[in-house]
Amino acid sequence: MVASAEVRVARCGGSRINFIEPIITLDSRFLLCASGDAVHVYSTSTEERVHVLQGHVDLVTGLRLNSSNHLQVYSCSLDGTVKLWDFTDGILIKTYIVGHKIFSLYVSKFHEGTVFIILPMESSANTEAFQLVALHLPKTTGPEVEARDILSVLRDVSPIPKATSFGRGGEFVASASGLQLSVYFFRKQKTYRFSLKANDKKGARNRFTCVASHPNDDCIATGHEDGKIRLWRNFSQKKEYTYSTEHWHHSAVNALHFTPEGTELLSGGVESVLVLWRYGAGSKKDFVPRLGSAIEHISVSPDGSLYCTSHKDNKIVVMKSSRDISAIIQGLVKGETIRTDLLIDPRTKALVCNGKPGHLQFFSLRHDKQLYNLDIVQQEYIHEAGLHQCEVTKAAIDAQGSWLATVEERQENPEELDIILKLWAYDESTQSFHLNTSISMAHEGQISAMCFSGDAEATMLVTTGRDGHFKAWLLADHPDAQGEGASWSCDYVGSYHRREPTRCCFSADGSLLAVGFGEVVTVWSPSTWELLVTFSQPPGDIRDLCFGRLSCSKYLLGTTTKNLLCCWNLLTCSLEWSSTVDVILLQPDPLSENMAAFSRASGSTDLFVFKPSEPRPLFSQKAVCSGTVRRAVFAPREEVLEGCDESTQWLSCSRLYFLTEHMELMTFSTKSEEDQIIASSKQLVIDDSVAVTPFYLLLGKHRKSQRETQDSVSSHTAARIQLPQGSPAIRELLHTPAHVLPSASFLCNMFVNSLLISKSGVREDGRCREEEMGSEEEEEAEEQESEGEMEASVSAQGPAVQGFQTEPTPQLSKAQERELRKLQKADFSWLSSLLDS
Amino acid sequence: MGEFKVHRVRFFGYMPSGIRCMSFNERAERLALGRLDGTLEIFNFKDSFYQEKVIPGNDSRSVEAVCWVAERLFTAGLNGEITEYDLENLCPKYSLDAFGGPIWTVACNAQGTHLAVGCEDGSIKLFEILPEKIRFERNLDRQKGRVLSLSWHESGTRIAAGMLDMIRIFDVQSGHATHRMLVDRGVSGMRNHECVVWCVAFLSDLTVISTDSSGKVQVWNAAMGILSSTHLVSKSDVLSLAVSKDESSFVVGTSEGTVVQFQFLANILGGDEKAWVRTKTFKPHTHDVRALAEIGTAVVSGGLDTQLVVRPLLDKVDIMSYDNVLHKIHFPHRSLVSCAQKAGMLLFQFPAQLEVWRLGESEGRGEFCLGTREKWIPFQGEDHISCSAISPCGGWLAYSTVSSLRVYRLQCDEHVSISKVPKLPKVLRSAHQLSFSDDSSKLFAASTHSMVHVISLSQSECKHLHTFKPKSGSTEPVHLLAASKDGKWLAAANRGCEIHIYNLHKLKPHCTVPIYGSCPTAMGIHPTSNNLLMVHADRQIFEYSIVEKQYTDWSRRVQREGLHKLWLERDTPVTHVTFNPRNAAQFMLHDTYMFCIIDQSLPLPDNKCQFYNQITLKSLSEQERLSHAHAFKMCTKYQHLLFLGLLDDESLVVVQRPLTDIASQLPAPVRLKKFAT
């Protein structure tokens, strides 16, 4: 009932990966970027996510490699901690608790044991003031350390990370804020401040946007609002400082970065062009054009071989210094607004919503990765301020995922409205949607709602328009269109007293259609198009409509603009109950009877989860986020969450995702779930001395099986512990650096010998295998039971796919582990048969 | 205050000439400027950038290069001659043919003992500087191709010469070229065109900086003869170069009108390793920047768009003051217009001609004044006009060149007819300044050695009455003459800041006004009180009672209370003083951007009060207006003023020359791509 501490609002996948500058590791193999509360580690060559470093409980705001150990990374967050991670293994090494919100983090090679962070100024009423401080990291052991040793370096700095930069050898730090550039020299302990005029006669806008320092020379590059880049020199003089100006960008310079050798300066802005300025050669420059979206950050790998740009559409592009693009990491594309509802694609379980302009994106929430973009508008996108673009405003997918309906809209002026309704069929062979029917001006006015019927046999689409009609569309064969196959056409046009329909909703079995006309809800039978019943609960227009599911399918729920949540009983045709809540969003869970209602309350949004049949809500939480919730959706889980108590039961088979006012995708996570994640990561950490490869699994299987069977007490296996691990040959093979290893032929002999000894262990494993098989079957059965037939099909095809994907991911989900085990078995039987022969 | 009928004159087609070269004399803080028409101008940078001296040009003489040797000024031109100037008499002293064809450049060594000139035929000739003249010493090894630029090393043993496609380093002792550094011709489309090395500069650390026609600025190591760095500055030519005194920075001027500064900066702060880095870019001009000078705290640039720009380098400036703001000098600091008050006629002075205009009537209010060009006097001879005057009655006209002085008689009826006065007194050979007495009976001509000749004019003859000589024995040229209305007094101001007052009745010197440190730019004698009003280059105003031989009370009050800050910060000097005949307490001053009526009866503004208060006063009631009024009434309605004077019918003549009119007569600038066009 009451929001328990067990359920917490968490950022989930789909966070901004372009929030701060990504960093590339010293060996250029990995790219680290902050994504919401976590740090993601991607491979720069395969774009695959290798690790997720979880541990922060608020936005990660800074990320820097540890200069004394290049396999470690510092991260800071608004939760007031600095954490040190081992990113190759994904282990949290240390947490330094600072206790203030941290906005940015810097590391200087020449300040051992110190990191620099930007904090809000204390003791000032002005919350807009920030200071750069040096944080001494205490050398005490233990995972959590209080770090209170703070030394103020610069006051009145900008909290934006790219507005501060450390210069050559950490001799100075330059920070720009507004119209002022401050340079602090550590050795002299002196600050120089240089100001520019806000604008001059020629209309220059001189506000600083970003700062970069040359790695070898004393030169600071600053970017400005009007697209100028200034190169400051001689800034240890109060007056004789000097700068040169370069101008290519036509609007603000968003990012600046020097290459590690200092031979090139990279800059980027809204033009989506990466500009490479030759250092010291005046205005000589090269371009990498057509990067797709405005550049937000630029970073360069420490060896200078990779450039990396973050883009406004939540994308990171990794390119080689030869300017070939080597990887594109695409996150959830979030624009300023979202016009479509959040949808779940039943086939891929991906989130479907507006992506790039004129596109729909399919985003896998599980892998936090964009699956693909579907070009709906199919027009060239021209970036220009004030240009009216064709926008996808509505989208719907039917229950089987075989049809997708989209509405695109373009309004140049109030009279000229251009609406196209498009229906897309899923093509099994190409595994994507193909345009089937395009209907221009499906309604005279804007289309206000659209839904597919849940009926599997005859899929029907209903659209409601501002022209006072609702239309039903059916797939029909046209004999005259040769070879074209079936296409969609209008089956029925309905209206009700010339009122304007606002919402429509099908019951779960598709036998009833509810259409809200102003304050009246009409219920129709789609088979006969007969108006069955009307409900009305004035005053207030219908805002949301939905039918109950499963055991509650006799109920129809509606919310009105006048703060009323009504539940009508369709059997008695009467109002079952109503309650005065200002519900802005009503979202049914497709897998249970539960409904989620978001209500507005004084600057924040509350959530209620209830069953229509029960008077008391299952769960309620006040202030899930500040501002209003824009969209929400229930996404089915891959596997049912176990160990849920009463208050978290509603989260067991699907997760609730919602988009906040600031376009952040949030979800609810339970404590047990988090514990599982942490437990699994810890467990992996302990024995993770070797990368998890199929080869490792082959060899390390004994160890693993031993560990697993250890719990189910078995004395004879305990004696077998030493076998693979204790074998000096194997240990030598795995622990000796490659360059001092003897030749492979020599090793091979040793290796085979070590396996021959383990022959007696095969029998033991055979027994274990049976045990495991049994447990696996159980698990699978459970899954099937809970997730229904849809999920079963996925889980059946899953192993086949994943069998080939045994990536070196130490963080294994249960399913993956199972697959590995399966592989282990297969491999082993093959090997043992070889050995036997 | 009173209302005036205004003749707004825009028919003076004054066209300044483009700036060709300049040279700055550090010791005297004077800038010598050579224009395309051969005029030399000397600006005094100590005295508010006042244009101190003007040496009129000559058609046969062009000025390609100008060079100071101590206090002596040399020029060289395409006529193949080296000329030294007499700065007291404002005329060429002597000319010497170098016999090497047209001379492109002249340079003096740091010791001041030798001049080197670069000639069309590829020879570099050394001239020894003697106290009174120069003497040809020898040729350095003759090369093929013209020598366009020269620079001496500080030691005086080496010379860098910029030629076509190459730079050569010469050893002065032996006269042989020690290094030959080839300059790249630039982009592929320009391969067939020779790369002209427009400028070279030899620094004391044996670095040579060159600018060339393919837009490059190159830094060479002259010890080894190798290129150390190249900076592409422009798509077209880089025409000018100036190195600062301490050799820590230099500026280059391009044909796109930009001036780019380079600084010698340490790569690492406080480190020894330094490099030339391009820093600031200014765009002071619209056309070619042909001449540049770096004078410590400012960059002075001049070009084909005829203006002289003094741009301060703010990083070298300690206190912001008048000297440290941007100055643009468009117009000469002397009057090119003289007005016959009684006849309503204007005389316009051009370098090689004079125009007499009669003022007409404008049709309606605010219309531009119509005039009729009565006479156009083309000038025969090669020398340009140095000064001219028309008598108040409009009956006489006089002008002078460096070599001759002529007086004409004007007959004004329906058409103006002109006749030359045949016999002039022998003393009248040339004049620096000419003026007529109020009753047009006398002509005053300021001549050499600060002498002023008084000539009486009558229908029959011109008679030399007297010659005034200053008691101080100053030899500086007189640049201002003012005669009193009653014909008794004559004031003469010379460039040595002295103002002498002569009694015309007794034909005797009367007195000398105490010398003020700044040069007077305008003066006039009050018609009734016979007080001499003087305005100096630093915009101080003095009033001196001639009768009492002392400063008046008002003048003392001005000095005591000081003038308003905004008045002192005005950009251009006051060039003319006029008295209001209706109100004895009022007089009018004008500079290029405003005219101002000063009422001596009103309190002076102090620094706290609003200086430009006309609009505020308008909104106030009568009583409040009185309390807010102060002595300075400014009018900025008329811009780019060349002359402002009162006619006898108490109408105001305003001669304007809008800068846009000048710009429209300039050749088209280098085409530049402008963003979003």
Q: What is the pLDDT of residues B382-435, one digit of tens each?
A: 888 999 999 998 888 898 988 888 888 888 777 778 888 888 888 888 899 999
From residue B514, give the alpha-carbon distance in Å to each of A572, B184, B371, B511, B550.
116, 61, 42, 9, 9
Q: Which helix (H) or strand (E) holds B279?
A: strand B274-282
Per-residue pLDDT reduced to its tens digit, B230-239: 998 888 899 9
Which chain A positions have a beta carbon within 8 Å of B233's beta carbon? Answer: 282
Question: Structure tokens of B354?
Answer: 């004079």
Q: Which helix (H) or strand (E) holds B50?
A: strand B50-55
Question: Structure tokens of A560?
Answer: 């009105």
Taking Cα atoms as reference points, which of B507, B510, B508, B506 lies closest to residue B525? Answer: B510
Q: Is B311 helix (H, G, I), strand (E, B) or coil?
A: strand
Q: Which residues touch B432 (CB under 8 Å, ≥6 apart)? A: B90, B386, B387, B400, B446, B447, B477, B478, B479
* pLDDT band, residue B125 (cuts 50/70/90): very high
What local confidence, expressed as pLDDT, does residue B42 receive? 94
* pLDDT band, residue A693 (cuts 50/70/90): low
What's the rounded Cα separation, in Å, for the pair A110 and A630?
A: 47
Residues in A lying within 8 Å of B, measured between beta carbons: 168, 171, 216-218, 233-237, 239-245, 250, 280-284
Q: Give the per-residue SS3 of B597-630.
A: EEECCCCCCCCCCCCCCHHHHHHCCHHHHHHHCC
Contacts 24+ apart (CB under 8 A), B405-408: B405/B429, B405/B430, B405/B431, B405/B434, B405/B445, B407/B443, B407/B457, B407/B462, B408/B377
Give the residue, A212 or A735, on which the prediction is more confident.
A212
Per-residue pLDDT reduced to its tens digit, B295-327: 888 899 999 989 999 998 877 666 667 677 888
Question: Structure tokens of B107?
Answer: 């340079």
Averaged pLDDT, B24-29? 91
What's the rounded Cα separation, in Å, for the pair B560 and B554?
A: 10
Which chain A positions have a beta carbon within 8 Å of B316's beta carbon? Answer: 239-240
The DSSP output letter for B316 is G
Q: Is B322 helix (H, G, I), strand (E, B) or coil?
A: helix
What local confidence, expressed as pLDDT, does residue A699 receive? 56
What local confidence, expressed as pLDDT, does residue B408 receive? 87
Neighbour-count burial for B497-524, b at 16+ CB within 10 Å, e otherwise: bbbbbbebeeeeebbebeebebbbbbbb
**Which chain B residue's Cα is nearest to A233?**
B265
Judge: A236–B270 Cβ closer than 8 Å, yes or no: yes
Is some CB atom of chain A closer than 8 A to the CB atom of B279?
yes
Judge: B279–A283 Cβ closer than 8 Å, yes or no: no
CB A211 within 8 A of CB A176: yes
Which chain A positions have a beta carbon within 8 Å of B674's beta carbon? Answer: none
Sign of CA dihedral B175, B181, B187, B191: positive
Distance of CA A26 to the CA centre of its chain: 25
Averaged pLDDT, B495-511? 90
Q: Is A166 helix (H, G, I), strand (E, B) or coil?
A: strand
Judge: B275–A216 Cβ closer than 8 Å, yes or no: no
CB A570 within 8 A of CB A584: no
Is some CB atom of chain A closer than 8 A to the CB atom of B266?
yes
* pLDDT band, residue A4 (cuts 50/70/90): very low
Which residue in B228, B251, B269 has the most chain A C-beta atoms within 10 A of its own C-beta, making it the best mutation to test that interface?
A: B269
Is some CB atom of chain A closer than 8 A to the CB atom of B274?
no
Which residue in A240, A258, A265, A271 has the most chain B C-beta atoms within 10 A of its own C-beta, making it the best mutation to test that interface?
A: A240
Question: Structure tokens of A678?
Answer: 């942490």
Which residue in A234, A271, A285, A384 has the most chain B C-beta atoms within 10 A of its own C-beta, making it the best mutation to test that interface?
A: A234
A269: left (phi over 0), alpha (psi -120 to 50) or beta: beta
What local confidence, expressed as pLDDT, does residue A748 receive? 77
User: Is B8's pLDDT higher than 50?
Assistant: yes
- Residue B279 has its nearest CB partner, among A171, A236, A242, at A242
Taking Cα atoms as reference points, which of A352, A369, A633, A314 lies closest to residue A361? Answer: A352
What local confidence, expressed as pLDDT, does residue B366 receive? 45
What local confidence, expressed as pLDDT, does residue A821 receive? 66
What local confidence, expressed as pLDDT, does residue A713 receive? 43
Number of residue pairs across A and B with CB atoms under 8 Å? 58
* pLDDT band, residue A364 (cuts 50/70/90): confident
| Least confident segment among A252-256, A384-388, B199-203 | A384-388
Judge: B232–A217 Cβ closer than 8 Å, yes or no: no
User: Is A265's pLDDT higher than 80?
Assistant: yes
* pLDDT band, residue A704 (cuts 50/70/90): low
User: Is B5's pLDDT higher than 80?
Assistant: yes
What's the rounded Cα separation, in Å, for the pair B86 and B381?
A: 21
What local confidence, expressed as pLDDT, does residue A653 receive? 82
Q: How far is A191 from chain B (nearest CA, A)?
A: 15
**Which chain B residue's Cα is nearest to A279?**
B277
Strand B405-412 to B442-446 pairing:
unpaired
With a pLDDT cut of 90, the percent of chain A lying above it is: 14
Bridge partners (DSSP) of residue A396 are A405
The letter for the amino acid at B370 is L
Q: Which residues touch A743 (CB under 8 Å, ≥6 apart)? A: none
- Residue B280 has its nearest CB partner, among A235, A236, A242, at A242
- Residue B315 has its nearest CB partner, among A239, A250, A283, at A239
What local confidence, expressed as pLDDT, does residue A624 receive? 81
Give the residue, A383 or B105, on which the prediction is more confident.
B105
User: Is B372's pLDDT higher than 80?
Assistant: no
Is some CB atom of chain A closer than 8 A to the CB atom of B675?
yes
What local confidence, expressed as pLDDT, does residue B23 receive? 94
Q: Which residues touch A283 (CB under 8 Å, ≥6 apart)? A: A246, A248, A277, B232
What local confidence, expressed as pLDDT, does residue A722 receive? 44
Q: How far is A391 from chain B (nearest CA, A)?
A: 28
CB A136 within 8 A of CB A149: yes
* pLDDT band, residue B649 (cuts 50/70/90): confident
A388-397, A418-427, A726-735, range with greatest mean pLDDT: A418-427
Number of residues that make up chain B: 677
- Residue B277 has its nearest CB partner, among A233, A250, A283, at A233
DSSP-H helix ranges across A636-693? 671-686
- Residue B268 has its nearest CB partner, among A168, A245, A282, at A168
Torsion of CA A533, A537, A542, A547, to 10 degrees: -50
* pLDDT band, residue A572 (cuts 50/70/90): confident
The letter for the amino acid at A152 is S
Place of tokens 């290519």: A248
Other CB atoms closer than 10 Å to residue B611's CB: what's the count?
A: 15
* pLDDT band, residue B181 (cuts 50/70/90): very high
Which chain B positions have a beta carbon within 8 Å of A216's beta carbon? Answer: 267-268
Bridge partners (DSSP) of residue A256 are A267
The DSSP output letter for B477 is P
What local confidence, expressed as pLDDT, does residue B221 receive? 93
Averaged pLDDT, A63-78? 90
What local confidence, expressed as pLDDT, does residue A414 receive? 75
Which chain A positions have a beta carbon within 8 Å of B317's beta carbon? Answer: 239
Averaged pLDDT, A291-301? 90
What local confidence, expressed as pLDDT, does residue A1 receive? 38
Strand B5-9 to B19-25 pairing:
unpaired
Number of residues that make up chain A: 837
Question: Structure tokens of B530?
Answer: 């016979």
ipTM attached to this prediction: 0.81
Sign of CA dihedral A791, A796, A801, A802: positive
Averaged pLDDT, B289-295? 92
Question: Structure tokens of A77?
Answer: 């967050």
What local confidence, expressed as pLDDT, does residue B104 receive? 94
Strand arrangement of the beta sheet that strand A30-35 belongs to: A23-24, A30-35, A38-43, A49-53
Q: How far is B25 from chain A (nearest CA, A)?
A: 24
CB B123 within 8 A of CB B144: no
User: Is B336's pLDDT higher than 60?
Assistant: yes
Give the residue, A484 or A497, on which the prediction is more confident.
A497
CB B203 within 8 A of CB B176: no
Judge: A240–B316 Cβ closer than 8 Å, yes or no: yes
Neighbour-count burial for A154-180, b at 16+ CB within 10 Å, e otherwise: bbbbbbbbbbbbbbbebbbbbbbbebb
Which residue in B277, B297, B319, B675 has the most chain A C-beta atoms within 10 A of its own C-beta, making it the best mutation to test that interface?
A: B277
What local confidence, expressed as pLDDT, does residue B267 receive? 84
| Least confident segment among A496-505, B156-165, B623-632 | B623-632
CB A221 within 8 A of CB A214: yes
User: Is A788's pLDDT higher than 50?
Assistant: no
Query: Average pLDDT of chain A?
Result: 79
What local confidence, expressed as pLDDT, does residue A775 receive? 45
Which chain B positions have a beta carbon within 8 Å of A168's beta carbon? Answer: 268
Q: Global pTM? A: 0.77
Per-residue pLDDT reduced to its tens digit, B202-212: 999 999 999 99
Averaged pLDDT, B497-522? 91
Q: How far is B229 from chain A (nearest CA, A)?
A: 9
- Residue B265 has its nearest CB partner, among A216, A234, A281, at A234
Strand B327-329 to B308-312 pairing:
antiparallel
**Which chain A residue's Cα is nearest to B676?**
A250
- Residue B267 has its nearest CB partner, among A218, A241, A281, at A218
Which residue in B261, B276, B279 has the most chain A C-beta atoms within 10 A of its own C-beta, making it the best mutation to test that interface?
A: B279
The DSSP output letter for A97 is E
What's the rounded Cα separation, in Å, for the pair A728 and A766?
A: 25
What's the rounded Cα separation, in Å, for the pair A491 and A463?
A: 11
What's the rounded Cα separation, in Å, for the pair B642 and B633?
A: 19
Strand arrangement of the beta sheet that strand A530-536 belongs to: A501-506, A513-517, A520-525, A530-536
Q: Is A18 helix (H, G, I), strand (E, B) or coil?
A: coil
CB B464 within 8 A of CB B429: no
Strands (E), A495-579: 501-506, 513-517, 520-525, 530-536, 542-547, 555-560, 564-569, 574-579
Q: How far is B260 from chain A (nearest CA, A)?
A: 9
User: Is A697's pLDDT higher than 80?
Assistant: no
User: Is B128's pLDDT higher than 90?
Assistant: yes
Judge: A244–B279 Cβ closer than 8 Å, yes or no: yes
> Rounded to 5 degrees, what are φ and ψ at A662?
-90, 20
Query: Average pLDDT of chain B?
Result: 88
User: Is A682's pLDDT higher than 60?
Assistant: no
- Residue B315 has its nearest CB partner, among A240, A244, A281, at A240
What local confidence, expressed as pLDDT, does residue A125 receive? 57
Taking Cα atoms as reference points, which of A317, A191, A301 lies closest to residue A257? Answer: A301
Which chain B positions have a beta carbon within 8 Å of A239's beta carbon? Answer: 314-318
| Least confident segment among A257-266, A704-713, B582-591 | A704-713
Per-residue pLDDT reduced to its tens digit, A140-182: 777 888 888 888 888 888 889 999 999 888 889 999 988 889 9
Judge: B269–A234 Cβ closer than 8 Å, yes or no: yes
What local confidence, expressed as pLDDT, does residue A765 receive? 46
Judge: A280–B265 Cβ closer than 8 Å, yes or no: no
**Which chain A residue's Cα is nearest to B230?**
A281
**Which chain A residue's Cα is nearest to B283?**
A202
What local confidence, expressed as pLDDT, does residue A782 receive? 46
